Amino acid sequence: MIPQIDLTRQHEALKAELAAAAARVLASCRFILGPEVAALESELARLCGVSHGIGVASGTDALVIALKAVGVRPGDEVITSAFSFVASATSVLMVDARPVFVDIDPGTYNLDPALVDKAVTPRTRAIMPVHLYGQPAAMDAITAIARARGLAVIEDAAQAVGASYGDKPAGAWGDVACLSFYPTKNLGGCGDGGMILTAREDVAGQVRRLRNHGSSRRYEHVELGYSSRLDELQAALLRVKLRRLEDWNQSRRRIAARYRELLAGVPLTLPEERLPARHVYHQFTVRTPKRDALAMALTDAGIGTTIHYPIAIPAQPMFALPDADRAFPHAARASAEVLSLPCFPELTDAEIEATSRAIRDALGRLH
Ligand SMILES: *Cc1c(COP(=O)(O)O)cnc(C)c1O
């Protein structure tokens, strides 16, 4: 059995360090907004090339709070991707703004900048690019549009911590960026968590208030905020993992390179690495019109796969936009064709070979 992701291998290797970190927090009895969170905030801010990191309770909360902090108000429009995890759109609804979907570039699965430019209206307040599967969106083009039109940029970097675009890390391009520590992310906690990154002093200040009941100092509340903090236990555990993040991301890139060698010539579209992006392969996602048959054959061969994502956001029942498939054809096609293969840093070469052989065999039978 080859799982699509297996956290037990990572945790087995880190068992003693994770236990020591947890014990340190339990002994301190300091559980909310203490030294571990502050340390993780500055470590991640440094890694992502910005001056402020602010821990929050989840990646979704990070998006919601970031939208508020850059000035998105009820009725504003926010341009977001038609093909992502649903939080890329629901976060916009949560601040009573309107998500305006834009189709993806079918090569990278990220926002197509040419379509972004066409989607701007007088009501547009922000653009929210997603760095899907670990590859940053075309941040030079997207930030140029934002500058020309006076819009804020919120990077959804939930899948791309440690990635970069050109000379800047993912997270350093926008006015603000959001990370998720959901356990399966490249930097995953042992529970929920998220972080907001920004180089803007004003945004950082407001995010710090918003995550903690709108308070500027203890029991003085200057605006309506949230109860959305990262806790000390998560931060301490995440700091253990953060020390390995660059090694893990390099392993993911090696795994991707190995899949490319072994799957060369197979009738399957492999992920495109579009320079100057440095992809960190949160997922190694392939595509084929025979996706469902391939997934079934791999399941039969004992190989785990996942579909990220089987329904494009505008086609989700909660949006049920009529004509969603025709309006966002690349997102619709991706949702029918993508398949994420086993990809996690501890995946062995033998497992990559076995997976690639099984794909070759299955597609040979299917063609
Ligand atoms: C995981 C994820 C989120 C949400 O993060 P949570 O921590 O689960 O709330 C948002 N956007 C993208 C692209 C994600 O992958």
Does 88 sit in the ligand 1 pocket, CB within 6 Å? yes
283 lines ligand 1 (CB under 6 A): no
Say yes or no to pLDDT of 28 above 80. Answer: yes
pLDDT one-digit tens code per residue, 146-192 = 999 999 999 999 999 999 999 999 999 999 999 999 999 999 999 99
Per residue in 298-344, pLDDT tens?
999 999 999 999 999 999 999 978 899 999 999 999 999 999 999 99
Q: Name the percent of the chain lying above pLDDT 70.
A: 100
Q: Write down the domain spans for the chain.
A: 7-102+109-242, 245-366
For 60, what's the count of Cα atoms within 13 Å in the CB-facing half-sphere? 12
Residue 83 in tokens: 């093909």
Residues pairing with 220 in the sheet:
217
CATH of 245-366, one of 3.40.50.12780, 2.40.50.140, 3.90.1150.10, 2.160.10.10: 3.90.1150.10
Q: What is the pLDDT of residue 61?
A: 98
The reply to whether ligand 1 has any atom less than 6 angstroms from the CB of 135 is: no
**Residue 321: predicted pLDDT:** 84
CATH number of this structure's domain 7-102+109-242: 3.40.640.10
Give dist(CA 350, CA 165) in Å, integer.
32
How many angstroms does the Cα of residue 351 sit away from the middle of ligand 1?
Answer: 28
Residue whose C-alpha is closest to residue 135's, from 30, 253, 235: 253
pLDDT for 322 equals 87
62 CA distance to ligand 1 middle (Å): 9
367 pLDDT above the threshold of 80? no
Residue 246: closest CA among 311, 337, 331, 164: 164
